[in-house]
Amino acid sequence: MPAESSSSPFLVFGAPQIDEAEIDEVIACMRSGWLGTGPRVAQFEHDFAAWRRVQPSQVAAVNSCTAALHVSMVAAGIEPGGEVITTPLTFCATVNAILHAGLTPVLADVDPHTQNIDPAAIEAAITPRTRAILPVHFAGRPCAMDRIMAIAKKHRLVVIEDCAHAVETEFRGQPAGTFGDFGCYSFYVTKNVVTGEGGMIVGRREADVARARMLALHGMSKDAWHRFGDAGYKHYQVLECGFKYNMMDLQAAIGLHQLARVEPNWQRRRELWLRYDTAFAGLPIDLPAAPEADTRHGHHLYTVMIDPDRCGISRDAFLDAMNAARIGTGVHYLSIPEHPYYQQRFGWRPEQWPHAMRLGRQTVSLPLSPAMSDADAGRVIEAVLRIVGHSS
């Protein structure tokens, strides 16, 4: 098969599907004069609560999933220095949020099949200082929440779910993010629901969400909408030393229509996912494992494993070849202990978590977005077949 022409348009990894409805809503928001936290954020919270089958009082919109994780840990009231067990196969934000909350991250290796945190590894990592578990629903696949919640109940641990990849994900009919004390979602530009930047907290207890909401806006008792609305000025009091984590109406204006299309967008990503599965079935690469029975996979990241011994090409050489074909890819993720900061601060070495180390060194995420056309998917397939087929 011929190589891509250098004049081919670059296929951006994770490009969002933005329709006229979002554009019109943003324009209307700008014309309204209300750009900060206001009525569109409130509507987005209401719609998201309905989508995840919880009460509006159980959700709080923030400006990132990182902020959601941080605020949730503070709102949980975990004492400084308490240990939080999480996965080494995640974005740095997961571990950084633990550190920003004044807590200590502890890594538990992943199941090499699901690439999610292994409940047996969680159990083995528990110490008298363990206070919480922070599972990450990696690539849209739900963690084994039955086993994780049983461990949490046994040891009286807080559970904060990182649902950055998992807005549509369900485990045994229940939405991801509604098992633990908190669920934290991302609306970053590459995510399945997009606001540019943004996040959402879902909490089991309304009082915890109310505290998280307060902490997300300087610890104030009233947000700007209630202080400056047409009901008259409302005085506020600072109740805690909080943060500047609130979502803007400009962001929610995009999210309202993204959320309205979450189902057809999921269906489109699923179609592309299955097309990749079929096209790559005969290649010497590892494909994502099939979703487990009685779960709903979010189909967020389509990750393939490039083992140089099997493929005849290294993972990084594969990345370079895809880039030469004008196709964007991602690495999700180098394991956390590969990064110098954590090595220097904690003395971590990748070999301590061998499954995450191997996966992190072999993984490539291929383009997967409802914005992709059939022709875009064909380009990706052709390039992978040419690169791996030629190398093998």
Element (H or E) spanning 174, and its range? strand 174-175
| Residue among 56, 47, 65 at smallest CA distance from 199 | 65
Query: Measured between alpha carbons, how far is 227 from 225 in angstroms, rounded to an integer?
Result: 6
Which sequence positions are flagged as catalytic?
191
Amino acid making up residue 183: G
Helices 249-260 and 39-51 pack at an angle, to 10 degrees, of 30
Question: Cis peptide before 333, with omega less than 30 degrees from 0?
Answer: yes
User: Are 337 and 311 a contacting pair, CB within 8 Å?
Assistant: no
DSSP 230: T
Q: Is 222 exposed, middle or buried (0-12, 13-18, 19+ CB in 10 A)?
A: middle
What is the strand order of the sheet 59-62 is part of? 59-62, 199-203, 182-186, 158-163, 130-134, 83-86, 104-107
The C-alpha atoms of residue 108 and residue 281 are separated, in whole angstroms, by 31
Residues in the chain, overall count: 392
Q: Evaluate whether 103 touches 80 at the Cβ level (below 8 Å).
A: yes
**What amino acid occupies position 54?**
V
Judged by DSSP in three states, 101 sits in coil
Which of 99, 68, 76, 66 lies closest to 156 in space, CA to CA?
76
Distance CA 268, CA 264 (A): 6
**DSSP letter string over 33-95?**
T--SSSHHHHHHHHHHHHHTTS-GGGEEEES-HHHHHHHHHHHTTPPTT-EEEE-SSS-HHHH
Rounded CA gap, 199 and 207, in Å? 19
The Cα–Cα gap between 79 and 72 comes to 13
